[in-house]
Structure formats: C-alpha cells, structure tokens
Amino acid sequence: MVSDISDVEVYVRVLGLPYSRAHGSIVVEYRDRRGEPIGIAIMYDRDTQVLRVAAPLDVEPTKEGLRILLEENFTSTTYKYALDYEGFITVVYDLPGEYVDDARKLREAILYVVDGARRVLERTRIEEETESHEKEKESS
C-alpha cells in the first residue's frame, strides 16, 4: 500500500526502471517495445491518498484530436487524457494509493499510461506522414 512517495520509489527500484526524484515526485523513463523512451511522472497526494501516474507529451491536439480524446475519456476505464497548462496532451491515471500494494500493480498503472501515450504518438505520426505526403503532392 502506498502511503508516501518513498513507497513508490521502492516499487520503482524493484521494477528496475531508471528514475529520479523531483519536487516530491518520481520521474521514470520507460522504454517501450521499440525502445522509444516515454517519460512518466508518478505523484502521491497524501490528502486524497491518490497515486497519479502521468505521461506528459509534447503533442498539441488538433480540433479533431480534441473530439477523439473526449470520446476516449468516456470509454476508457483506466487512463484519461488531459491538457496541461500549455495545451499539451498528458495521459493520466489516478488510482487509490491503497490499491498499489506491490510493484506489479504499479507496473500495470505505468503500462496503462504508456499504452495511452503510444496511442497519441501513433496518431500524431500518422497525421505528420499524411501532411508530408500532401505537401509532396502540392510541390510536384
């Protein structure tokens, strides 16, 4: 059971993930199957006893993207999409600290967030490729 950020640090060490502590949070670098790094911030709020696992992304949503994210927020049972104060997408998973009582459950939460981040990043790549092809056609 997580009751402090130090408990989270123990689980992260057990998982063998590279991490650092910053401003009362743990910042983890997770590498997906393709070896691409995804930064994960893990915070614990003592007042609400909520553990937050989040992946801030350098992706700004389009108008269509916002609609898709909103729809997915209503269907996802784990992570949610949010916008940070600069308008970039952040994948967030909040869960009760008492639920995370071993490293395996923290790993599950991290993987859910990584999955949400991967979905956004894949859509972004597809949109960039489409735009690139359209520009090539225009210049031909």
CA distances from 131 to 10, 90, 124, 138 (A): 44, 23, 11, 11
| Least confident stretch, 24-28, 35-39, 88-92, 136-140 | 136-140
State what percent of residues in the chain have pLDDT above 90.
65
Number of structural domains in the chain: 1
| Mean pLDDT across 109-131 | 83
- What is the edge-to-edge ordering of all strands in the sheet holding 50-56? 19-22, 25-31, 37-45, 50-56, 89-96, 80-83
**78 burial type by CB count under 10 A (0-12 exposed, 13-18 middle, 19+ buried):** middle
Helix (H) or strand (E) holding 71: helix 63-75
37 within 8 A of 126, measured Cβ to Cβ: no
Q: Is the pLDDT at 133 greater than 60, yes or no?
A: no
> What CATH number corresponds to the domain at position 86?
3.30.1460.10
Residue 54 is predicted with a pLDDT of 97
Q: Which domain holds residue 25?
A: 5-139
Over residues 103-113, the mean pLDDT reads 96
Reported as a single tens digit per residue, the pLDDT across 19-64 is 999 988 999 999 877 788 899 999 999 999 999 999 999 999 888 8
Work out the burial of residue 63: count CB atoms within 10 Å of its CB; fewer than 13 is exposed, 13-18 middle, 19 or more buried: exposed
pTM: 0.86
% pLDDT > 70, the chain? 89
Q: Write the DSSP symbol of residue 97.
A: T
